[in-house]
Amino acid sequence: MLNAETSYMDPTKVDLTDTAIQKCPWEAYRNLRDEAPVYYLAAADMYVVSRYEDICDIVRDPKRFSMAARGRGFLFKTDEAVRYYEDHGRPRYTPLSTDPPYHTEFRSHVEPFFTSGRIRTWEPALRNLIDSLADKLDTSEPIDFVQKFCFPLPMSVMTVLLGLPLEDHKLLKHWTDVWVLPFSHAMTPQQEMYVAEEGVAMQKYILAALEQKRRDPRDDLLSLLVQARREDGSELTEKEMLGFAEQAIVGANETTQNGLAMSMCAMIENPGIEERLRDEPKKIRTFIEECLRLHSPTAGMYRWTTEDVAMHGVTIPKGATVHLRFAAANRDERHFEDPDVLDLERKKAGSHVAFSHAVHHCLGAPLARLELNLAFEILLSRRTNFRFARPTDNFDYVPGLALRQLEYLWIRSDPRGAI
């Protein structure tokens, strides 16, 4: 057993903000799980939790580990950016940053849209979108799978589900890419203002779209928001509708994009998997769960303590930021046997925390799962012999703490005979 003082508190030991560690974090995660399961990361002023069971316990304990207790200043360091939102748009808000019982009530209005059965009704639309993007792979030339396929797909899907014109997906993609910049925790004041200006532009676009849905409701997510009624007959507030729409757009984007890219990477890196999936398409589901587990598109999320909490000999003080490192928990050998192996026979494959668990379990998980499964089903039916078109040690990841994102993934593939 290492001395608690040095192993838990030594900020030089594992710095998750270090881009070299972000590129290949697995050894660092093992180190954290084994030696410092609650670890104070000085560079980001937060306590990192890395074991599977600990994360499961925390996400079921919203009283002590709150979403709502997040302090002002977590996203924006300057007051100017915050004030710009307030003066020109609405304060930046998402219903994700709330706790039960309010969160439970709010979520009950949008949950029916995201059940596995309801999401299945969108399957034909999703197949069309995936098929038209898969056309871009119909070449013997190397293509950047990230740019050509992973970038446009999730935002196209969400644009359709929201009931917005498909051609607007590029606009939404731009806004959501800007929206998440504060999570890098490394913005200049100028960048903060840019985020606020683009954020307000996005809000104005969504508010106009909500107004249009109010006049002409359809079977889509924005219409559901304007038509939702509370028990007393009242509508959701503008703040809630706007916040939820922003959250749905942002939540659908990079996460699914990373899931697609990392799954392609994993399929190529593991010999025999591609053939196995083509022979046994039923195994695609386990494959996707394993990719989500191994590569955790959302590497971590946050909570804020409402009281002092002692864990593994460390006292996390009241008001501290706690970082739940899903990517580390998903390779915890205390829960998953041979955790670094992509195993299509793994019984526990679906128990990963890639979508978190419990209260804030990803609302869009059934949509993300369907998108990922259909994408691989369609790609495997159209192309074969997927391979890297560049040396694999050249992979670059977008710097960031919460998301692990490939900047590009150059691949080649061959047509599948006469189909």
Partner 1 sequence: MKISVDKKKCSSQQRCLHLYPSLFEEGEHGKARVRIDVKVLTEDDEIDAQAAANACPSGAIEIEY
Q: Which of residues 51-80 bind partner 1 (CB under 8 A)?
A: 56, 60
In the complex, the smallest distance separating the C-beta of residue 174 from partner 1, rounded to whole angstroms, is 31
- For residue 209, what are the contacts with CB-CB under 8 A and spacing of at least 6? 162, 163, 164, 222, 245
Strands 321-324 and 301-305: antiparallel
Work out which of 358, 378, 398, 402 binds partner 1, going by CB under 8 A: 358
Owner of token pair 């710009």: 84
In the complex, the smallest distance separating the C-beta of residue 283 from partner 1, rounded to whole angstroms, is 8
Work out which of 142, 217, 350, 415 binds partner 1, going by CB under 8 A: 350
When the beta carbons of 2 and 341 are compared against partner 1, the nearer one is 341
Instruction: Give the number of residues in contact with partner 1, rule: CB under 8 A.
Output: 29
In the complex, the smallest distance separating the C-beta of residue 359 from partner 1, rounded to whole angstroms, is 5
When the beta carbons of 85 and 355 are compared against partner 1, the nearer one is 355
In the complex, the smallest distance separating the C-beta of residue 62 from partner 1, rounded to whole angstroms, is 9
* Stretch of residues binding partner 1 (CB under 8 A), selected from 30-38, 143-151, 356-364, 374-382: 356-364
When the beta carbons of 111 and 238 are compared against partner 1, the nearer one is 111
In the complex, the smallest distance separating the C-beta of residue 390 from partner 1, rounded to whole angstroms, is 33
When the beta carbons of 181 and 301 are compared against partner 1, the nearer one is 301
Q: Can you say whether the dihedral through the CA atoms of 339, 341, 346, 350 is positive or negative?
A: positive
Work out which of 218, 361, 387, 416 binds partner 1, going by CB under 8 A: 361
Question: Is the bond leading into 101 cis (omega within 30 degrees of zero)?
Answer: yes
In the complex, the smallest distance separating the C-beta of residue 231 from partner 1, rounded to whole angstroms, is 16
* Binding of partner 1 by 156 (CB under 8 A): no
User: Rounded to an integer, what is the distance from CA 269 to the centroid of its chain?
Assistant: 23
In the complex, the smallest distance separating the C-beta of residue 352 from partner 1, rounded to whole angstroms, is 8
Question: What is the rounded distance in angstroms from the CA atom of residue 107 to the CA atom of residue 359?
Answer: 10
* Stretch of residues binding partner 1 (CB under 8 A), selected from 224-232, 240-248, 309-317, 357-365: 357-365
Interaction pattern, residues 99-118, with partner 1; x per rule: CB under 8 A: -x---x------xx--xxx-
- For residue 407, what are the contacts with CB-CB under 8 A and spacing of at least 6? 146, 395, 396, 397, 398
Residue 171 amino acid letter: L
When the beta carbons of 202 and 372 are compared against partner 1, the nearer one is 372
Question: What is the rounded distance in angstroms from the CA atom of residue 65 to the CA atom of residue 45?
Answer: 16
Three-state secondary structure call for residue 394: helix
* Binding of partner 1 by 349 (CB under 8 A): yes
In the complex, the smallest distance separating the C-beta of residue 57 from partner 1, rounded to whole angstroms, is 9
Q: Which of residues 232-291 bind partner 1 (CB under 8 A)?
A: 282, 285-286, 289
Tokens of 216: 């002409």
Tokens of 303: 């909570």
* Binding of partner 1 by 415 (CB under 8 A): no
When the beta carbons of 278 and 285 are compared against partner 1, the nearer one is 285
For residue 40, give the H/E element and its range: strand 38-41
Question: What is the rounded distance in angstroms from the CA atom of residue 286 to the CA atom of residue 289?
Answer: 5
In the complex, the smallest distance separating the C-beta of residue 357 from partner 1, rounded to whole angstroms, is 5
CB 181 within 8 A of CB 195: yes
Kindly provide the b/e burial profile for residues 246-263, where b requires at least 16 CB atoms within 10 angstroms of the residue's own CB: bbbbbbbbbbbbbbbbbb
Q: Using alpha carbons, select from 132, 140, 116 the residue that is nearest to residue 379.
A: 132
Work out which of 347, 393, 418, 419 binds partner 1, going by CB under 8 A: 347
In the complex, the smallest distance separating the C-beta of residue 350 from partner 1, rounded to whole angstroms, is 3
- The alpha-helical segments, DSSP class H, found in 216-334 are 221-227, 238-269, 273-279, 284-295, 326-329
Q: Which residues bind partner 1 (CB under 8 A)?
A: 56, 60, 100, 104, 111-112, 115-117, 282, 285-286, 289, 347-353, 355-359, 361, 365-366, 369
